[in-house]
Structure 1
């Protein structure tokens, strides 16, 4: 399905750029692991192009064009693009799922801020839960309940990332903590961005994020039993490795401003072993009723899209944000010419 040379390039991109997922992927069966690594490589390289580059808008528009080429069967001449096109073809990947990721990256390029936790979940749905739904497609699991729990896991992992990166984001001028929380705490968010400090109010916000992430990790775990048996340890490993990052933040009194939490190699090995044991235990237990909980309102559109293979329509909301970015990009180029 994927050219071996392209596959090797994707493996290396994830080994360097996403160590947590690379570790968890070792427990996936090869028929899932290889397309999953290729998918993550495409998504990770796209995210890095927007997150780390100066011309964020141009990066989003280039990604739109690359996705158009991949879905048209004529991918750009790059390993990740060719591998992604192969995945689209083999698994009938609904266009709405990578489009959701594109929309989230467009929000990043637009430097959008989020007033409430619900708005932050909407962002997390796009940049992370969409990937969780695509992972279900790769495992050929299109049951709505399973998809909903995969989306819970994606949102939980993104909230963990946001909690971990508060200081790093602030120093780069980015803010993902809900702006309403600053108003509730009588904190000036611009003052925080100008001089990020781990004040008690900021630590309390990090605590709130991690509590929401923990709630969603619990919901997500109930969905593991509905996955194909051989895929369960790898998904559990991803869940435990990311949750471990949250535990490290808690151990340091929720200070993610002056330090960046991480899990060590030894801890990752421990999480892999735990995941293998837990996967076996899950098989012996009756399925939890939590499996059938409705999806988060913010991820329901992903569940609906993933349950229907082959849908290629692009959403009106995505057209709107891309149109706005294109207009801004043209204005910027005129101003600098």
Structure 2
């Protein structure tokens, strides 16, 4: 069996909707976060692969986990992440939780309601934020706000790609009860343009996702690391802008992603605002590019 990385989609950290270990993050943490990302990216691409069978996908995800846990060295990304985690004394549990989500992607194609979707986010999204917080040595008191942010990011992605996920993977993250309540069903996701009923359904879910962002808004002020606070503020601001697009645009027929320019300007404003607040509220933060 070839290494799973050979089956990657070609998508990298720079192609994501939100920053992945951007230059804002301290260099001493960036390599570890990127090792985590590379492991997760390989697993995600396996779960979404167009030609692998369900059995082949699950076997490869199991082999990735075995490499992560030191049971083999067959998957380079698993072995590398294992080594860098061990060097920092960090557990593999967050990566393992994400593997649970990818296995679920392989075997589960529909979600009955909002609670079931949030249950999926507990494995598909929340571990990412918890991992980054752990890498920075932040308190677990930050986890609840981080969980809300990560769940919001995941659902935003689901809403942006609802048509593509249905057409390419027959996978529907839009809760079935929300569609039924609006008088529509999954077949509407395969159309070139969203019907009024589907638009109303998606707007309702977008509004509900905005409540998660309201819960996550304090997170940047809760963390001790100034650079991480700026990264979180950037992600929060980008998510809020995407919520605005989803409320006004049709994800089946219109672009609901930010341009590179819009992402950059949003990031600069959010970072500058966060840094200014910290300067006035806590004194000048440590902002040296070298490890502290």
The TM-score bracket by the shorter chain reads: 0.7 to 0.9
Which residue number in structure 1 is paired with residue 252 of structure 2?
Answer: 257
**Alpha-carbon deviation of 1:82?**
3.8
Higher relative helix content: 1
Pick the aligned partner of 1:155 from 151, 155, 178.
Answer: 151
Alpha-carbon separation, structure 2, partners of 1:285 and 1:116: 42
Alpha-carbon separation, structure 2, partners of 1:137 and 1:26: 19
> What CA RMSD, in Å, does the superposition of the two structures yield over aligned residues?
2.4
Q: TM-score, normalised by structure 1?
A: 0.72
Distance 1:65 1:171, change over 3 A: same
Aligned runs of 1:160-309 on 2, under 5 Å?
A: 160-172=156-168, 173-189=170-186, 191-193=187-189, 195=191, 197-227=193-223, 228-252=225-249, 255-283=250-278, 284=280
Alpha-carbon separation, structure 1, partners of 2:155 and 2:109: 16
Alpha-carbon separation, structure 2, partners of 1:211 and 1:194: 23
Distance 1:63 1:88, change over 3 A: farther
SS in 1 for 2:39: helix
Distance 1:110 1:251, change over 3 A: same
Matched residue count: 269
1:38 aligns with 2:13: no
On the 8 A contact 2:118/2:151 being kept in 1, the answer is yes
Which residue number in structure 1 is paired with residue 287 of structure 2?
Answer: none
Pick the aligned partner of 1:60 from 54, 58, 61.
Answer: 58
Alpha-carbon separation, structure 2, partners of 1:271 and 1:128: 22
Which residue number in structure 1 is paired with residue 91 of structure 2?
Answer: 94
**Alpha-carbon deviation of 1:161?**
0.3
Alpha-carbon separation, structure 1, partners of 2:163 and 2:17: 21
Distance 1:197 1:174, change over 3 A: farther
Q: TM-score, normalised by structure 2?
A: 0.82
**Alpha-carbon deviation of 1:13?**
6.1
On the 8 A contact 2:69/2:82 being kept in 1, the answer is yes
**Alpha-carbon deviation of 1:43?**
0.8
Alpha-carbon separation, structure 1, partners of 2:45 and 2:274: 32
1:114 aligns with 2:107: no
On the 8 A contact 2:47/2:57 being kept in 1, the answer is yes
On the 8 A contact 1:171/1:196 being kept in 2, the answer is no
On the 8 A contact 2:183/2:197 being kept in 1, the answer is no
1:144 aligns with 2:140: yes
| Unpaired segments ≥5 residues, structure 2 | 1-9, 283-292
Alpha-carbon separation, structure 1, partners of 2:251 and 2:41: 23
Distance 1:44 1:77, change over 3 A: closer
Moved more, 151-160 or 43-52: 43-52
SS in 2 for 1:52: coil
On the 8 A contact 2:109/2:171 being kept in 1, the answer is no
